[in-house]
Structure 1
Amino acid sequence: MQRYTKPAILMHWLIALLIIAAFSLGLTMVDIPGLTPTKLKYFSWHKWLGVTVFGLACLRLLWRLTHAAPAYPTQMPQWQRNAAHALHFLLYVLIFAIPISGYFYSLAAGVPIVYLGLFPLPVFIGPNPELKPLLKLAHYWLNMVLLAAFCLHVLAALKHQFIDRDGVFRRILP
């Protein structure tokens, strides 16, 4: 059974863990009432995670474009291969779209992002009260689609591991 390359495996799991952390932090911070120092700290961390995910996603995409994924088992039905390709494509779109939507939402809210408190990111748009709620909604719904896609991805991996026993899941294990 062919496997993904070590850099692809590392980026897969690192990005997954960072997304889980950012998602969890996002849910936590929006439930904190008011504007507290803790809430502001969580917002900063959430944004830093998003920027990091975006940077790693860029590296991962470059790697993926120059390194083919291992082939699926020959006994895997074509509709499952098509579904897997579609889901992976959706996951790639989302790991770019979510940080971008969050970045522009922050800018529309008039809050520039300073990565790790040290590196100010470019400001492409100024505060925009009309655009802010649309970007907030887009960021929220993109995350909900990611949650659904993530769950489907995990369930498919578990199916391949425990029901099909075809080695698909082992291709990405460290």
Structure 2
Amino acid sequence: MVTKYTLPARLLHWLVALGIFAAFGLALVVDDMPLSLTKLKLINYHKWIGITVLGLVALRLLWRLGHKPPPTNAQMAGWEKTVAAITQGLLYLLMFGVPLGGWLYSSAKGYPVVWLGLVPLPNLMEKNEELAATLKEVHGAGGWAIIVLSVLHAAAAFKHHFIQRDDTLKRML
């Protein structure tokens, strides 16, 4: 019986996690910076990472649809399985929603998104300063939400590994 996620699933999981934390860290740094060329460069890096995360999450979801994950630990309580499923669903929603929200914000602000400085992406809407302000708030709140859920997700994995001593974490390593 398969006890681990497939190698592509594990790689995508960790690349997305790395991307999320990198984009969030950049956002925190950029928020406190005065307008400068460095700030604009870091904002572009933030956008590039966000669009990359969006693409990787799409690949991850497509992979997941074609490859059944290993079964959950039989010793997990029903409520744990329910919380894990809800958390996973919310994480997927946020992994798509936060980058898309940032792209919408850039479009509404009138700022182009050029992935890696090479591939211009289409504007998702016309310039709209009023909507841009709302989208910026939603994007920021979504960023915080995905970080909180990710930390809880990691804490649960560590709890299973170090306290319950089961193979939950090992399935993704």
Report the TM range for the smaller structure's normalisation.
over 0.9
Q: Deviations over 1:54-89 (max 9, x none)?
A: 000100000011111111121111110111111111
Instruction: Name the count of aligned residue pairs.
Output: 172
**C-alpha contact 2:54 2:95 (8 A) present in aligned 1:** yes
Alignment-derived partner of residue 92 in structure 1: 92
Amino acid at match of 2:31: V
Looking at structure 1, the residues matched to 9 and 154 of structure 2 have their Cα atoms a distance apart, in angstroms, of: 17
Report how far residue 30 of structure 1 moved: 1.1
Amino acid at match of 1:159: K
Looking at structure 1, the residues matched to 75 and 26 of structure 2 have their Cα atoms a distance apart, in angstroms, of: 41
Report how far residue 2 of structure 1 moved: 0.6
Alignment-derived partner of residue 5 in structure 1: 6
**C-alpha contact 2:103 2:124 (8 A) present in aligned 1:** no
Amino acid at match of 1:150: S
Alignment-derived partner of residue 14 in structure 1: 15
Alignment-derived partner of residue 32 in structure 1: 33
Looking at structure 2, the residues matched to 50 and 166 of structure 1 have their Cα atoms a distance apart, in angstroms, of: 33
**Unaligned runs of at least 5 residues, structure 1:** none
Q: Secondary structure at the match of 1:120?
A: strand
Alignment-derived partner of residue 108 in structure 1: 108
Q: Secondary structure at the match of 1:130?
A: helix
Looking at structure 2, the residues matched to 147 and 119 of structure 1 have their Cα atoms a distance apart, in angstroms, of: 28
Amino acid at match of 2:98: I
Alignment-derived partner of residue 142 in structure 1: 142
After TM superposition, where is structure 1 displaced by more than 2 Å over at least 4 residues in a row? none
Report how far residue 147 of structure 1 moved: 1.5
Looking at structure 2, the residues matched to 89 and 54 of structure 1 have their Cα atoms a distance apart, in angstroms, of: 15
**C-alpha contact 2:21 2:147 (8 A) present in aligned 1:** no
Alignment-derived partner of residue 71 in structure 2: 71
Looking at structure 1, the residues matched to 85 and 103 of structure 2 have their Cα atoms a distance apart, in angstroms, of: 28
Alignment-derived partner of residue 46 in structure 1: 46
Aligned residues: CA RMSD:
0.9
**Unaligned runs of at least 5 residues, structure 2:** none
Report how far residue 172 of structure 1 moved: 0.1
Amino acid at match of 1:112: P
TM-score normalized with structure 2 length? 0.97
Taking every aligned residue pair, what percent have the same amino acid on both sides? 47
Alignment-derived partner of residue 171 in structure 1: 171
